Amino acid sequence: MNINLTMFAQALSFAILIWFTARFVWPPLIKAVEDRQKTIADGLAAGERGKHELEISAKRSAESLREAKHQASDIIAQAEKRATAIIEEAKENAKAEGERILVGAKAELDQEVFRTKESLRQQVADLVVSGAEKILRREIDAKAHADILSAVSSQL
Amino acid sequence: MSTEQLTPAEYIGHHLSFNAQSVGDTGFWVLHMDTLVVSLLLGIVVFGFLGWVVRGVTAGVPNKRQAFVELLMEFVDGQVKTIFHGNRHAFVAPLALTVFVWVLFMNAMDFLPIDIMAAFYQHVLGLHKWRAVPTSDINATFALALSVWVLMIFFSIKVKGLGGWIHELFCAPFGSNPLAWPANFAFNLIEYISKPLSHALRLFGNMYAGEIIFLLLGMWAATGLVGTFFGALLGAGWAIFHILIVILQAFIFMMLTVVYISMAHESH
């Protein structure tokens, strides 16, 4: 049980082993473990973030869906309104057009009537003048009584 | 076995003889080759294994080897973390890992059946005297304990400065009153002497006692059929219990190492 040189030799090998462990074993090992811890922590954080983003985008998509529906119904309502307006306008236009045509036709008719009357009057005047001419062949000088004749024809 | 020709005292004496090689004139210049070779061989194998695993270490998915080594490392690191508050990765935690693993494997040599191994050493390797358990050599345990002791003083001086350390020698734990200086110094002296003593002798005592029990059981086994039966039965029981002691003593040795070193870092 005596202490001898063995102790110092043993202490030397102990020192070598400590150096080896502290230099070559521990640092890479702790680095690997800490790197992995960081990776796992990052992964968990990313997962959490992804979940959160999913929730947000789900909410956003529901909102945009609702908005789109709302817009669509707006558009439909507008279109209906526009359609009735167009129909109304068309009716209005048609009525106005009809009236215009009617007025035109009436005017044309009036004109025709007037023209017919005119020509009839002319013919009657001519007939009257020729009748009177035939009766008054001898007494009436066309030249001398032209003013009387034109006065009569204008009165007809 | 050759033990049948021996008296019990010779049997035990034979098993407790070191393979001593004299390298000088006096009794001090002696090397216990068995202690040195076994401990160094274990150190090379075990730390070589660790170094080999660490060479292929990856931060990604670890293989089983790496996971096992990481488990060991995290066990040690967890223990160190609770005691030592500082940058433990620079020195203290690797030191703790070295102490734990090395002492564990040196202690574990006790599991080898003592008489079969003695026959193996004698007939295969031609070694008449060979003790396989380095930690049952007081030189080995004192080597570890005194190395830790030197580190303890080194860190004391490094952290507090030489003046701070000397100040603490005289002014702690009873205060800086000059009247308390002798008491403080005596107290610290006793502490500095008792720490490596208890550190080394605890491990040595446990492993030495374990070896003696195995020897006694082996001796009983040589007395006859009943002795063989009970010797084997109790030997198995003691070996199973010894698993606990081997691990526990390695653990305690590591914890004391960490405690001493971290005490050196704290100033009073």
Q: What is the DSSP letter of A139?
A: T
pTM of the predicted structure, to 2 decimals: 0.75
Per-residue pLDDT, B267: 74
Q: Which token pair is B73? A: 């490392």
Q: Is the pLDDT of residue B248 over 60?
A: yes
Report the first-to-last Cα separation within chain B, whole angstroms: 60
Q: What would the mean pLDDT of B157-180 be, rounded to a whole number?
A: 88
What whole-number distance in Å separates Cα of residue B98 and Cα of residue B121? 28
Closest residue, chain B, to A7 (C-alpha):
B139
pLDDT, one tens digit per residue, over B178-193 is: 888 899 999 999 999 9
Mark yes or no for CB contact B102/A14 under 8 Å: yes
Per-residue pLDDT of chain A (156 residues; tens, 9 = 90+): 578 888 999 999 999 999 999 999 999 999 998 999 999 999 999 999 999 999 999 999 999 999 999 999 999 999 999 999 999 999 999 999 999 999 999 999 999 999 999 998 888 888 888 887 787 776 666 677 778 778 877 777
What whole-number distance in Å separates Cα of residue B268 and Cα of residue B266? 7
CB of B57 closer than 8 Å to CB of A35: no
Q: Is the pLDDT of residue B205 over 90?
A: yes
Report the first-to-last Cα separation within chain A, whole angstroms: 173
Per-residue pLDDT, A13: 93
Q: Which token pair is B163? A: 């003046």
How do strand B30-32 and strand B20-22 relate by DSSP bridges? antiparallel
Among B36, B69, B140, the residue with its CB nearest the CB of A29 is B69
Mark yes or no for CB contact A25/B28 under 8 Å: no
Instruction: Name chain A contacts of B39, Cβ cutoff 8 Å.
Output: 10, 13
Q: Is the pLDDT of residue B2 over 60?
A: no
Instruction: Name chain B contacts of A24, Cβ cutoff 8 Å.
Output: 51, 54
Please confirm, yes or no, whether B139 is among the known catalytic residues.
no
pLDDT, one tens digit per residue, over B10-57 is: 888 888 888 888 887 888 888 888 899 999 999 999 999 999 999 988
Per-residue pLDDT, B3: 45
Domain boundaries, chain A: 42-155
> Which SS3 state, helix, strand or coil, does residue B55 take?
helix
